[in-house]
Amino acid sequence: MLISICIITYKRKDYLKKLLLSLNEQENINYQDVEIIVVDNDIHCSAKNIVEEFKTISKFSVVYDIEPIQSIPRARNKTLELSNGEYLAFIDDDEIADKKWLINHYNATQKFNADACIGPLFPIYEGKISKWIEYGKYFYRIHNSNDGEKTDLFYIGNFFVNKKKLGNTKFDNSLCLIGGEDTELFHRLKKNIKLIVCNDAVVFEHVSANRANLKWLIQRHFRGGQSFVYIVKKKNLFLAMLYSIYGVFQIFFYPLLFLFLVSFNFTKAMKYFLKTFLVFGKIMAFFPWQYQEYKNR
């Protein structure tokens, strides 16, 4: 088996169906060299019927299993355990893949002699959104790099990697409630892998109205700052303290930039408004209270 496509899902049946159908349309791939692994993180197996229906038309081998304990890291680790591929391709259950997504990832790793590859992500907005959100590109993941260039910008939703480079590395289950398990994994791996950009390995993410709004963005920025310092703290307490101390100065500076810009460049002003919550999260990482984004999944 050459490639294992790794998917975790939780009560997103409609999105999952769209993802699986997009994978079935992959071009220039030997289908016998690819398997799709779906791990359902719902103890009630809500995705099972979707996967079983897909199996009847799938061009690929499909494996379905459940991770009964609600935990994104545990579900991701289950996909690793079930995988047989030399390479792992990670994609989220609310995304759809471009028709040449998989082959472009594979070809890029071969052409540039890379261990891992990451591609861009573009949003599919569901409903009308505020202009400042669209112009701010909060739901885009775009690399300002040429194909084959190294990058440190990482996210799991469009990631392709040589399985050997992971070794025995697992996603950290201690982050199951606050998130950031993908970032933490990359922090451990980045010294030992060559991660490159492939701008043609494109995925599209469904962005619902309950995400494309100010409240969600505030919470996500706060959580991002909190989990970042938490991850750094596990490896280097002093460095994590520096990030938090620096955040104390930033938390006064960013609101001033917001007030200065808000009257003539609202989109840019909102960037600094949200950065205020990012650094607030960095500061709060040293306090007992944690924002647990995934507690009530």
Q: What is the CATH number of the domain that holds 27?
A: 3.90.550.10
Q: Are residues 125 and 266 in the same domain?
A: no
Residues contacting residue 34 through CB under 8 Å, at least 6 positions apart: 1, 2, 3, 4, 5, 26, 60, 61, 85, 102
| Count of domains for the chain | 2
Residue 293 lies in a domain: no
Nearest-angstrom CA–CA distance, 42 and 32: 29
d(CA 229, CA 102): 33
Q: Are residues 50 and 191 in the same domain?
A: yes
Over the stretch 79-127, which tens digit does the pLDDT of each residue have?
999 999 999 999 999 999 999 999 999 999 999 999 999 999 999 999 8
| Domain C-terminal end among 152, 177, 207 | 207
The residue length of the chain stands at: 297
Q: Are 199 and 218 part of one and the same domain?
A: no
Backbone angles phi, psi at 67, to 5 degrees: -115, 100
Query: Residue 1: is its pLDDT beyond 70?
Result: no
Regarding whether 66 and 31 lie in a shared domain, the answer is: yes
Helix (H, G, I), strand (E, B) or coil at 95: strand
Measured in degrees and rounded to the nearest 5, phi and psi for residue 90 equal: -100, 135
Crossing angle for the helix pair 181-189 and 72-82, nearest 10 degrees? 50
End-to-end CA separation in angstroms for the chain: 34
Q: Domain of 263?
A: 214-284
Kindly report the pTM of this predicted structure. 0.94
Residues 32 and 125 both lie in one domain: yes
Task: Specify the pLDDT at position 153.
Answer: 85
- Using DSSP bridges, classify how beta strands 3-9 and 34-40 pair: parallel, antiparallel or unpaired: parallel
| Predicted local distance difference test score (pLDDT) of residue 289 | 78
C-beta of residue 162 within 8 angstroms of C-beta of residue 116: yes
276-289: pLDDT as tens digits: 999 999 999 998 87
At 295 the pLDDT is 65
Place 296 in a pLDDT band, splitting at 50, 70 and 90: low
Same domain, 262 and 129: no
Tell me whether residue 135 is in a domain: yes
Residues 179 and 54 in one domain: yes
Same domain flag for 102 and 224? no
Q: Average pLDDT, stretch 128-146?
A: 93
- How many whole angstroms separate alpha carbon 250 and alpha carbon 276? 7
Residue 295 lies in a domain: no
